[in-house]
A and B are shown apart, each in its own frame.
Chain A
C-alpha cells in the first residue's frame, strides 16, 4: 500500500526555527534542538546503545526512503557510518512548494547528530549546503586512549 507523508511540515518547522533565531538568537534555537533531540530520539539512542550503529543505518534508511530523498549509506561494522544526501527531501519539497527556507535549516541535523553521538559513544561530523540541499553526515566510534 502506498504510504503518504505530509511534507509541508518541513515548511512550518523552518518558520519555527526562524522565529526562535530572529527573536532570541541562534543559541536559543540550538538549546531547543538539544532539548527536542533528547526527547524525540530517546528510543533511537537506546537502540544504538544496545545494538550498535546498525540501528542508525536502519533509521536513516527508513526516513530517507519514506521521504523520497536521494542518498547513499556506507557502514563499516560498528566503527563508522556515512550518509551522503544528494537531494534533501525537506529542502527539495520546500523549494517546490515555495516555502521560505531558514538560512541555517540544516543546523537541526548537526545538533541532533551531536546529541545522539554524545550519548552513544560516537563522534559525529557533518558538512552541509543548505542552498543546494546536500550534506554528508558521519558517525565514527570514539577512540579510547
Chain B
C-alpha cells in the first residue's frame, strides 16, 4: 500500500465562522483560566468529538486515517500532500485552511492555535499502536507536517 495524493482547494466553503468560533474559544479560555484549561478542552474534544476518527483507526488502521483526512481536508479546501504506506502516514500541509481563514481577517489568532492538532489527534491515534507527531513549520502561514508511524504490529482487515 503506497499512495501520494495532492489536493488543492478551490471555491470551497468550510463553515468558516466555526474556525473563528474555535479561535475565540481558545483565546477566551486561555485568558480566563490559562493554557492548561485550553489543553483540557482539546482533550475533551478529542474524546467526545473524534469518535469517527477513533472508529476508523480502530477498524482500518492507516487506511482509516487516510479515509478520515481525505474527507475532512477535501471539504475544508486544504492544499496538502498525503503519503500513505504500510507502516506510515504523512500529511504535508502546504496551506492550512483554518490558518488561511484567520489570516484573511483582522481577527487576532490564538498564539498556540496550531497546537490543537497535536493534542486532538495524538490522543486517538497513539492508543492503537502508532506514534503521532506534528512538526509546525510555519504557524503564521499554516504549514506543517503530520507524521504517523506504526510502533506495534496489529492486523487490520484488508480494505
Contact = CB atoms under 8 A, between A and B. Distances in A.
Taking residues whose C-beta sits less than 8 angstroms from the other chain, chain A's interface range is 20 to 34
Given A39-B24, A40-B21, A16 B75 contact: no
B79 to A, nearest CB: 15
Interface in A4-31: 4-13, 15-16, 18-20, 23-24, 28, 31
Nearest to B46: A15
B12 A4 contact: yes
A100 B19 CA distance: 20
Contacts of B49: 11-12, 15, 99
A68 B26 CA distance: 28
A97 B52 contact: yes
B112 interface: no
B119 to A, nearest CB: 13
B13 A36 contact: no
Interface string B61-80: 00000000000101111000
A56 B12 CA distance: 23
Taking residues whose C-beta sits less than 8 angstroms from the other chain, chain B's interface range is 20 to 34
A66 interface: yes
Nearest to A16: B25
Contacts of B22: 12-13, 16
B32 to A, nearest CB: 8
A36 B28 contact: yes
B44 interface: yes
Contacts of A3: 11-13
A8 B72 contact: yes
Interface string A87-131: 000000000011110000000000000000000000000000000
A143 B83 CA distance: 61
B52 A16 contact: no
B20 A5 contact: no
A36 B24 contact: yes
B48 interface: yes
Contacts of B107: 39-40
A72 interface: no
B15 interface: yes
B81 interface: no
A60 interface: no
Given A5-B15, A13-B18, A19-B40, 5 more contacts: A5-B75, A36-B21, A39-B20, A66-B13, A100-B48
Interface of B: 11-15, 17-22, 24-25, 28-29, 32-33, 37, 40-41, 44-45, 48-49, 51-52, 72, 74-77, 107
Please list the 10 inter-chain residue pairs (A to B) with the smallest Cβ-Cβ separation, ordered nearest first. A9-B18, A6-B75, A36-B24, A15-B49, A6-B14, A15-B48, A9-B15, A19-B44, A40-B20, A32-B28
6 contacts: A9-B18, A23-B37, A31-B28, A36-B24, A40-B21, A99-B49
